[in-house]
Amino acid sequence: MDTHIQVKNLNVYYGKQQALKDINIEIPKNQITVIMGPSGCGKTTLLKSLNRFLELTDGTRIEGEVLVDEQNIYAREVDVTEVRKVVGLLAQRPSPLPMSIYDNVVYGMNIHKLKKDRKEYKAAVRHYLEIAGLWDEVHKRMHDPATSLSIGQQQRLCLARGLAVEPEIILGDEPTSALDPISSQNIESRLIELKQQYTTVIVTHTLRQAKRLADYVIYMYLGEVIEAGPAKEVFSNPQHERTRAYLEGQI
Amino acid sequence: MSEIDTSQLISKTTGRLTRPVVASRARQNEFARRTFFVFTLLPVFLILTVTVALLVRSWPILQAYSLSDLIFGDVWKPTNGQFGFWPFILGTFWVTAVGVILAVPPCLLTSIYLAEYAHSRTRSIAKPVLDLLAAIPPVVYGVWGLLAIVPFVDEVLAPLSDRWLGPISIFSVNQPTGFGILAAGIVLAVMIAPLIISVMYEIFSTVPNDLRHASLAVGATQWQTIRNIVLPQVAPGILAAVVLGASRALGETIAVLMVVGNIPQVPTSIFDSAYPLPALIANNYGEMMSIPLYDAALLSAALVLLVVILIFNILSILVIQRMRSRKWA
């Protein structure tokens, strides 16, 4: 297994409350890793430790290391904006920026000055909207406000916006939980298509989605990683009693 | 058991689930609705009453002089029967403009810092301090202006301006006393700052965090997020905060009249003395009432102030609405 992200002795505290306890995991490159577990178990906290989103909340204390390509993203000399450029995030609720569809896709590229001129931006916008499976639906109304799209379309737009800054890793924080079944399926297919080129880490609370998407599984309970391994092994033969109970629907 | 109750009820009231109690609840509700409505109407009624009362009391002078003579006349000599409001109207605008121009930039920066950058601990200290600043009585600001700002303007700012900005007429020092528009503007700026900051802060916190996070997630810095996402969202609200501050400044009386010099002249420089409308009314109402039309003149000055503030607020509401309708979402 080719490791892309390595979490070492990670402890996270919100004030006095400990949210993550001594996490040690390895996340494989160019596969879909699914973090699952009952609500409040620290799934989202673990996910957001990977793009340094935890520090947006006051009073969060983070100890330990998160290595992306063997570079600790919490090291002092690391630029947090570079981390977030490499590690994209698809949020739980679609969050189109209050601007046009076109400008949403351009936004991140423009922040990092990735393209030289309008022509390059236009081509890139088309490219990423196609990847996100949205081009056919929106190419005639690129300058409409992004909020005029349906929720499902908005989430695909957010995916395009995230991919446009050329990340290596995509994080998804229950990215389909606000969507209808057809839109969810659409997003899931995108993620499966994209896993050839991107390391993907998804948090989900639906076991069925985990089974559909996962190549690699992390099962968490009360801030601890109980079990982690290739999806086939974990789903067919869980090593830990708690994992078994969760998979059987007892937790 | 509940099933039995329901069936009894239905049989008693010929199939409809109504009870006498319900009727009395509806009456109470109706009574509450009407009472609250009356109190909601009260402010509208008050504005109308005040306007009409001022109009009635200033009627004698409005009949004796034309409106344009009163508003644009620049001589104020009540004993000679000359009542020109122009110096006072301009004085009001100059003082307010200087106050707002001085207050807005630092207020904007402070509120951005508090809302976007500050740690929650910093915020929990800074906010109460600002509220405290807002609670200081205007007369205390006036004394502070007299003791600190007027000498500061006289001894520091006026000589500096005289040396470096002298040729520019609005900065030229014609009346070196320290009492004047700049001193009043500085005092006003400090007085309206807490209000402007707290309104701006509230407006910043109406922007959903999802938007900030969406921008940060693609690797934008906090400043890029503020400039590209947050500020365009809050622009109408920022303007509203400025208008609120300006309205407060337009009407501020005691602190201003203590430092502004109170000379009825058309100002040409920020170092000139001026005589804003509120100061005129407060200084003179109730005195020298034997002069013909004096009472009516002062009350029409109040009317002018009221109308100016109303027009100002209505215009700003219109501007804000236009800005809102142009926004996405």
According to the 3-state scheme, what is the secondary structure of B41-101? HHHHHHHHHHHHHHHHHCHHHHHHCCHHHHHHCCCEEHHHCEECCHHHHHHHHHHHHHHHH
Q: How far is CA A103 from CA A66, A84, A118, A199, B8, in A?
A: 32, 19, 12, 26, 65
* A27 three-class SS: strand
pLDDT of residue B177: 86
Domain spans, chain B: 2-41, 63-326
The A residues from 59 to 78 touching B (CB cutoff 8 Å) are: 59
Sheet holding A3-14, edge to edge: A17-28, A3-14, A60-68, A71-72
Task: Point out the residue among A88, A91, A99 whose CB comes nearest to the CB of B213.
Answer: A91
The neighbouring-strand residues paired with A141 are none
Q: Are the Cβ atoms of A58 and B219 closer than 8 angstroms?
A: no
Identify which of A58, A99, A165 has the shortest CB distance to residue B218: A165
pLDDT per residue over B242-292, tens digit each?
Answer: 988 998 899 888 999 999 988 888 888 888 889 999 999 998 887 777 787
Q: Do B328 and A85 touch (CB under 8 A)?
A: no
Tell me whether residues A98 and B328 touch, CB distance under 8 A. Answer: yes
A98: nearest CB among B119, B217, B327: B327
In whole angstroms, what separates CA B241 from the centre of its chain?
9
Chain A partners within 8 Å of B114 (Cβ): none
The answer, yes or no, to whether residue B140 has pLDDT greater than 80, is yes
A113 vs B: CB within 8 A: no
A131 near B CB under 8 A:
no
Rounded (10°) CA dihedral B321, A142, B215, B110: -20
- Say what the pLDDT of residue B328 is: 46
Return the residue in A44, A95, A144, A168 with the most chain B beta carbons within 10 A, the one to mutate for interface testing.
Answer: A95
For range A167-173, the mean pLDDT: 94
pLDDT at position B315 is: 83
What pLDDT score was predicted for residue B295?
86
- Of B282 and B172, which is predicted with more confidence? B282
Q: What does the mean pLDDT of chain B come to?
A: 86
A45 pLDDT higher than 80 = yes
Whether B5 has a pLDDT exceeding 70, the answer reads no
Q: How far is A152 from chain B (nearest CA, A)?
A: 16
Q: By the 8 A CB rule, do A119 and A109 touch?
A: no
Contact B214 A112 (CB under 8 A): no
pLDDT band at B175 (very low <50, low <70, confident <90, very high): confident
pTM: 0.84
pLDDT digits (tens, 9 = 90+) for A52-86: 999 998 889 999 999 999 999 999 999 999 999 99
Instruction: Give residue B172's pLDDT.
Output: 79
CB B235 within 8 A of CB A101: no
pLDDT of residue B3 exceeding 70? no
Mean pLDDT confidence for B115-132? 91
- How many Cα atoms are found within 13 Å in the side-chain-facing hemisphere of A33? 30
Query: How far apart (Å, rounded) are the C-alpha atoms in residues A128 and B214?
Result: 17
Q: pLDDT-based confidence at B1, cuts 50/70/90?
A: very low
Residue A97 sits at the chain B interface (C-beta within 8 Å): yes
What are the structural domains of chain A? Answer: 3-247 (3.40.50.300)
A42-46, B156-160, B295-299: which is most confident:
A42-46
| Stretch A196-217: mean pLDDT | 92
* Interface with chain A: mutation pick from B123, B212, B218, B225, highest number of A CBs within 10 Å: B218
Return the CATH number of the domain spanning residue range B63-326.
1.10.3720.10
Residue B86 confidence (pLDDT)? 92
Task: Please state, in angstroms and rounded to a whole number, the distance separating the CA atoms of residues B92 and B276.
Answer: 4
- Mean model confidence pLDDT for chain A: 92
pLDDT above 60 for B2: no
Q: What is the ipTM of this complex?
A: 0.92
Q: Where does the pLDDT of residue B329 fall: very low under 50, low under 70, confident under 90, or very high at 90 and above?
A: very low
Please give the pLDDT value at position B22.
66
Say which of A93, A98, A165 has its CB closest to residue B219: A165
Write out pLDDT tens, residues A90-120: 999 999 999 999 999 999 999 999 988 999 9
Residue B151: pLDDT above 70?
yes
Q: Give yes or no for residue A251 having a pLDDT over 80.
A: no
Residue A207 confidence (pLDDT) above 60: yes
- Residue B320 in contact with residue B101, Cβ under 8 Å? no
Which chain B positions have a beta carbon within 8 Å of A84's beta carbon? 216-219
Predicted pLDDT of residue B19: 60
A85 to B217: CB separation less than 8 angstroms, yes or no: no
Whether B163 shows a pLDDT value over 90: the answer reads no
